[in-house]
Amino acid sequence: MPAPERRRQRRTQVERSAETIAKLLDATIDAIVEVGYSGATVREICDRAGVSQGGLFRHFPTRRDLVVAAVERLSQVQLDQLTGLLRSRPETTRPDALQRLRVVRATLREPRSLAFLEVLLAARTEPELMENLQAVLARQDEALRAAISTHPLFANLSSSSQRVWLDISRRMLEAESLWQAAVPDPELDDAKLEALVTLLTVLEDAADWTGDRSG
């Protein structure tokens, strides 16, 4: 077989493998969104992806490995959205800050983002899954801290205070995303964002609340 033809065949095999992996990752997230983490069985995922169970295990030794890979992919998509939003010509105006927070909230309320949180909740009783997710979350936190470091609402705070207020803001929005379907209250939603922006605006000129003046 001529060398160019062998190279074309190898590339085709790599492309086919990448396509299969992409189908499995998409099917995993879709399954978690539609039937929940416990319902996203190997058979359910394979049926959705159109891939045999043998094909799945050739790429992922366990279901947990597949779930973690899918969450990592989802996390990267979410990170790209959020960091892009934080870094795109931020202004110091209150309307700009409110609009950005509304977009962040909408992103966190998307079904795929909720699937991320569902896997995290499931990891409470699966130590190995939790260990894998902790690494994903650590990378996500690091990227978000880097993104907010130049944003007007956070720029005057020390790195330790930035971390504190990023975590407060983010966890508030993540927690309410789990509650909003059961207890919707659009007026309260807006009031909370208004209060959060007010607090962050005050912090621009406030003393560092964490006690760390090192920057």
Domain of 18, CATH number, reads 1.10.10.60
Total tally of structural domains belonging to the chain: 2
pLDDT for the residue 67: 97
Residue 114 shares a structural domain with residue 41: no
Residue 44 shares a structural domain with residue 71: no
Residue 123 shares a structural domain with residue 68: yes
For residue 70, which amino acid is it?
Answer: A
The sign one gets for the Cα dihedral 21, 43, 74, 23 is positive
Asked if 189 and 142 count as a contact pair (C-beta separation under 8 A), the reply is no
Decide which of 44, 60, 76 is a domain's last residue.
Answer: 60
Whether 166 maps to a domain, the answer reads: yes
Residue 168 shares a structural domain with residue 114: yes
Residue 87 shares a structural domain with residue 183: yes
pLDDT for the residue 125: 96
What secondary structure does DSSP assign to 69-121, as a single string? HHHHHHHHHHHHHHHHHHHSS----HHHHHHHHHHHHHHHTSHHHHHHHHHHH
Residue 46 shares a structural domain with residue 88: no
Asked if 44 and 50 count as a contact pair (C-beta separation under 8 A), the reply is no
Residue 54 shares a structural domain with residue 144: no
pLDDT for the residue 72: 93
What secondary structure does DSSP assign to 11-36, as a single string? HHHHHHHHHHHHHHHHHHHHHHHHHH
Residue 21's closest CA among 49, 40, 62?
A: 49
pLDDT for the residue 90: 61
Residue 72 shares a structural domain with residue 38: no
Q: Which pLDDT tens digits describe the chain residue by residue (215 residues)? A: 555 555 555 668 888 999 999 999 999 999 999 999 999 999 999 999 999 999 999 999 999 999 999 999 998 888 888 888 777 766 667 788 888 888 888 888 899 989 999 999 999 999 999 999 999 989 988 888 888 887 777 777 788 888 888 888 888 888 888 888 778 888 888 899 899 888 877 765 554 555 554 44
Asked if 56 and 27 count as a contact pair (C-beta separation under 8 A), the reply is no
Instruction: Decide: pTM greater than 0.85.
Output: no
Whether 163 maps to a domain, the answer reads: yes
Residue 163's closest CA among 139, 145, 188?
A: 145
Asked if 29 and 74 count as a contact pair (C-beta separation under 8 A), the reply is yes
pLDDT for the residue 10: 60
Residue 90's closest CA among 78, 79, 103?
A: 103
pLDDT for the residue 5: 55
Residue 90 shares a structural domain with residue 189: yes
Whether 213 maps to a domain, the answer reads: no
Asked if 56 and 42 count as a contact pair (C-beta separation under 8 A), the reply is yes
Range of the domain at 97: 64-208
Whether 75 maps to a domain, the answer reads: yes
Residue 87 shares a structural domain with residue 179: yes
